[in-house]
């Protein structure tokens, strides 16, 4: 008789638990409850139909067309798409158009997919082995000529070049216009 009574009480408790709305609890509250084996303080229940994931969604740029290595990304090649914030943080995708417009594609970026940061690089302005204009400006003196880059580089990169006339190795900073600025040492 006692077992039957316990079974009935258990069934009623389960029915009541199913009928009552569940209350949302924070992870820290649940952890404190588990650590101390004490009841957690109740937190107001979440509104019906509210989604936790809805708050954790951000808009990120995605390619409108498939981009291939060497392509320079233009604003017209991008559109916005909603993406879970957790996935954005886990996989390091570009968060804004300004982060990637004008950059060069290193590996294929599939259309309608977020742009991974490791798939883009600064646009190459100076190419290794292609004669490039170099200039030195100090005070009122300006000297210019050509040198052979020993490495490729984007705007602002520090690269080594070989002076075509003397064979001397020089170092300069790549300018956005494709020339290289040599500094006095």
Domains recognised in the chain with CATH numbers: 54-121 (3.90.1210.10), 125-182 (2.30.30.760)
Output the pTM of the full model.
Answer: 0.51
Q: 3-state DSSP call for residue 141?
A: strand
Q: Which of 27-41, 46-60, 84-98, 105-119 has the largest mean confidence?
A: 105-119
Q: 3-state DSSP call for residue 138?
A: strand
Report residue 162: phi and psi, to 5°.
-110, 125
* pLDDT (tens digit per residue) in 50-95: 444 455 888 889 999 999 998 889 989 999 988 887 777 777 888 8
Q: What is the pLDDT of residue 44?
A: 45
- The average pLDDT across 152-178 equals 92
Mean of the per-residue pLDDT values of the chain: 78
Distance separating alpha carbons of residues 154 and 103, to the nearest angstrom = 9
Q: What is the pLDDT of residue 58?
A: 84
Distance separating alpha carbons of residues 95 and 10, to the nearest angstrom = 52
β-pairing, 141-149 vs 169-174, is unpaired
Q: What is the pLDDT of residue 9?
A: 56
Closest CA to 100 of 69, 68, 73: 73
Q: How far is CA 84 from CA 49, 58, 60, 99, 101, in A?
A: 18, 6, 10, 19, 22
- The average pLDDT across 120-132 equals 90
Q: 3-state DSSP call for residue 62?
A: strand
Q: What is the pLDDT of residue 37?
A: 52
Q: What is the pLDDT of residue 36?
A: 59
Distance separating alpha carbons of residues 71 and 8, to the nearest angstrom = 71
């Amino acid at each position: 008789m006692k077992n039957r009574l316990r079974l009935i009480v258990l069934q009623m408790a389960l029915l009541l638990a199913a009928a009552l709305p569940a209350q949302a609890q924070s992870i820290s509250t649940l952890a404190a409850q588990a650590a101390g084996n004490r009841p957690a303080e109740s937190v107001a229940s979440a509104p019906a139909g509210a989604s936790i994931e809805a708050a954790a969604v951000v808009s990120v740029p995605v390619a409108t067309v498939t981009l291939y290595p060497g392509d320079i990304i233009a604003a017209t090649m991008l559109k916005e798409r909603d993406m879970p914030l957790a996935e954005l943080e886990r996989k390091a995708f570009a968060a804004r158009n300004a982060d990637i417009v004008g950059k060069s594609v290193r590996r294929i970026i599939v259309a309608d997919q977020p742009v991974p940061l490791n798939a883009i690089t600064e646009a190459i302005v100076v190419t290794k082995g292609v004669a490039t204009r170099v200039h030195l400006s100090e005070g009122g003196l300006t000297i210019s000529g050509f040198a052979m880059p020993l490495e490729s580089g984007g705007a602002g990169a520090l690269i080594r070049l070989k002076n075509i006339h003397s064979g001397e190795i020089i170092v300069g900073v790549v300018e956005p216009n494709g020339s290289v600025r040599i500094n006095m040492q």
